[in-house]
Amino acid sequence: MRNRLLIASVSGAALIALSWSAFAADTSQDFVNKAAVGGMFEVETSRLADGAAQDAAVKDFAHTMVTDHTAANTKLKAIAEKGNLTVPTALDDQHQAQLDKLKDAKGASFDQPYVKMQRDAHKEAVSLFESYAKDGDNAALKAFAGETLPTLKMHQEKIETIGSDTAVQPAASGTDDASGNGGKPPLPGANSFTEGQAKDRIQEAGYSDVSALAKDDSGIWRGQARKDGKSVSVALDYKGNVTSASK
């Protein structure tokens, strides 16, 4: 009888240990899944922004994201693989859809959706890493979460500042395109766009037959173009904002 009770106790303890082990692995795997996909999303969207963003602050932020999150992703992968955890190699459907949407954004319409995606992504990442750093079940991953959290918070603070900057708000369009108009584009300033780059940027904004481009005394490229079958006067300021006025 005593032997039966002993065997039953040992078996029960083994089952409890097995159940706890499975729970711990599942929890760790869930963190790895979310952190890895989030990190890949940061890198892929920021690679697009590094080349397509119009605002200098957004470009700088995107470059930082590629560098920092590539390093974090590499470290996460090493820790996960050492713990026999699977690391996702592709985005989930939700993040892939957002990336595809961003790929379709061009010219002056790119910055705002990218910034919004980054604000949302960092809010989720900070919450995920804070939670796991506090209650995580894998010591190595828990340490990783705690070490990475300050960088994520720094990123979040930076993108919140950029997001509140008028430079990444939608470019105005219409007939009010003179300088001294209360901060609406086109804005006067040192314009580094070449004529060819200015033409490309205007075309990316949806205009065709761009011609007669010339930079005025305020640093604004002005010229002629067509949109929706109509001839318009177009302007491109130093921030990349494209505006137009009917002729």
State whether the Cα torsion 150-154-156-157 is positive or negative: positive
User: Which of residues 132, 147, 168 is at a domain's end?
Assistant: 168
**Domain limit, last residue, from 146, 168, 190:** 168
Tens digits of per-residue pLDDT, 23-42? 333 489 999 999 999 999 99
- Give me the percent of the chain exceeding a pLDDT of 90: 53
CA angle 208, 213, 216 (to 5 degrees): 140
Alpha carbon 123 to its chain's center: 12
Q: Which residue has tokens 């409890």?
A: 16
Residues 82 and 97 reside in one and the same domain: yes
Of the ranges 46-55, 73-82, 143-152, 158-167, which one carries the lowest mean pLDDT score?
158-167
Residue 209 is inside which H or E element, if any? Answer: strand 208-215
Query: Does 191 lie in the same domain as 111?
Result: no
CATH number reported for the structural domain that contains residue 34 in this entry: 1.20.1260.10
Considering the domain architecture, whether residues 227 and 188 belong to the same structural domain is answered as yes
| Rounded CA separation 177/212 (Å) | 17
Backbone φ, ψ for residue 19 (5° rounding): -65, -45
Together in a domain, 108 and 217: no
Mark which of 142, 168, 194 sits at the end of a domain: 168
CA distances from 237 to 14, 57, 160, 162 (A): 70, 16, 24, 19
> For the chain, what is the domain count?
2
CA nearest to 155, candidates 230, 222, 67: 67
61 and 159: one domain?
yes
Place of tokens 């950029």: 162
Are residues 137 and 151 part of one domain?
A: yes
Which of 1, 135, 158, 129 shows the shortest CA–CA distance to 65? 158
Whether residue 106 contacts residue 52, with contact meaning beta carbons closer than 8 Å, is answered with yes
Whether 156 and 206 share a structural domain: no
Residues 137 and 179 in one domain: no
Whether 54 and 81 share a structural domain: yes
User: Nearest-CA neighbor of 68 among 197, 155, 194?
Assistant: 155
Q: How many of the other CB atoms lie within 10 Å of CB of 221?
A: 25
pLDDT per residue as tens digits for the range 49-87: 988 988 888 999 999 999 999 999 999 999 999 999 999
Give per-residue pLDDT as tens, 84-132: 999 999 999 999 999 999 998 877 788 999 999 999 999 999 999 999 9
Please report the pLDDT score of residue 165 as a whole number. Answer: 63
Q: State whether 156 and 67 are in the same domain.
A: yes
* CB neighbour class for 240 (10 Å; exposed up to 12, middle 13-18, buried from 19): buried
| 162 and 185 assigned to the same domain | no
Residue with tokens 């992703």: 73
69 and 109 share one domain: yes
Enclosing domain of residue 35:
2-168
Q: Which residues contact 23 (CB under 8 A, 6 or more apart)?
A: 137
pLDDT at 2 over 50: no
User: Which residues, other chains included, contact 132 with Cβ-Cβ below 8 Å and sequence gap of 6+?
Assistant: 31, 141, 142, 145
